[in-house]
C-alpha cells in the first residue's frame, strides 16, 4: 500500500470523515451516513486475521448491518474518541464506548449490564471516503463484563 502525501487541509478533512463515522453512524445510528463516509469497496480487516478466509471488500451495507445489530444490543452506546492522530492518508483513533446491554447479542439475551469497551483503529482515506480499517477491540473484556466469556466473536462479517 502506497502512502499518499496529504496537505494539512486534506489531513483535517480526513480526521473529520472519521469523526463523522464515529459520531453519526455509530453514536447516532444514522446508517445513511455510512454511504457518505465509506467507499463502495470498503474493507474492515479483522482484529485477528484468519488465513483461511479471503478478505473481501464489505462496502457500506455490511457495516450498516453490523452497526444496526450492535446498536440493537447497546442502544445507548456512545463512543468517545480519546486520541486521534493523522498522517498522509491515514487516521488513527483510540476510542472508548460506554453503554447498556439492552438487546440480544449473538444469542446472549439482554443482561441490563452497563459496559465499557475500548478499541483502536487505523482508517485509510481515499477520495474523501474511508476505504479500509484495521481495528482492534477489547472483545474479551466486553464478553467478561456481560458474564459470557465463551460467547463467539463479535466482528464485521
Q: From the CB of residue 130, how many other CB atoms can be counted at a distance below 10 Å?
A: 25
pLDDT score for 47 = 74
Cα pseudo-dihedral 72, 76, 77, 83, rounded to 10: 150
The CA distance from 46 to 23, in Å, is 22
CATH of domain 8-145: 3.10.450.50
Per the CB < 8 A criterion, the answer to whether 44 and 57 are in contact is no
pLDDT score for 148 = 85
Residue 90: its H or E element: strand 90-100
The CA distance from 57 to 24, in Å, is 22
DSSP state of 55: P
Per the CB < 8 A criterion, the answer to whether 82 and 95 are in contact is yes
Query: Considering the entire predicted model, what is its pTM?
Result: 0.88
Task: Kindly report each contact of residues 75-81 with a partner whose C-beta sits within 8 Å and lies 24 or more positions away, as own/partner.
Answer: 75/99, 75/100, 75/102, 75/103, 76/100, 76/102, 77/26, 77/27, 78/27, 79/22, 79/26, 79/27, 81/18, 81/19, 81/22
The CA distance from 52 to 70, in Å, is 26
pLDDT score for 78 = 98
* pLDDT digits (tens), the chain, 157 positions: 455 556 789 999 999 999 999 999 999 999 999 999 999 999 998 777 666 566 777 899 999 999 999 999 999 999 999 999 999 999 999 999 999 999 999 888 999 999 999 999 999 999 999 999 999 998 889 989 999 877 655 554 4
Amino acid at each position: 500500500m502506497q502512502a499518499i502525501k496529504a496537505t494539512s487541509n486534506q489531513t483535517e478533512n480526513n480526521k473529520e470523515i472519521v469523526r463523522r463515522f464515529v459520531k453519526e453512524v455509530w453514536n447516532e445510528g444514522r446508517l445513511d451516513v455510512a454511504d457518505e463516509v465509506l467507499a463502495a469497496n470498503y474493507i474492515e480487516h479483522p482484529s485477528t486475521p484468519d488465513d483461511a478466509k479471503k478478505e473481501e471488500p464489505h462496502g457500506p451495507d455490511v457495516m450498516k448491518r453490523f452497526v444496526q445489530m450492535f446498536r440493537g444490543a447497546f442502544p445507548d452506546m456512545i463512543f468517545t474518541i480519546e486520541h486521534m492522530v493523522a498522517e498522509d492518508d491515514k487516521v488513527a483513533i483510540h476510542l472508548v464506548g460506554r453503554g447498556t446491554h439492552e438487546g440480544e447479542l449473538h444469542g446472549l439475551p439482554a443482561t441490563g449490564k452497563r459496559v465499557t469497551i475500548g478499541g483502536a483503529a487505523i482508517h485509510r482515506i481515499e477520495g474523501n471516503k474511508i476505504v479500509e480499517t484495521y481495528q482492534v477491540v477489547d472483545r474479551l473484556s466486553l464478553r467478561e463484563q456481560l458474564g459470557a466469556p465463551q460467547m463467539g466473536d463479535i466482528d464485521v462479517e
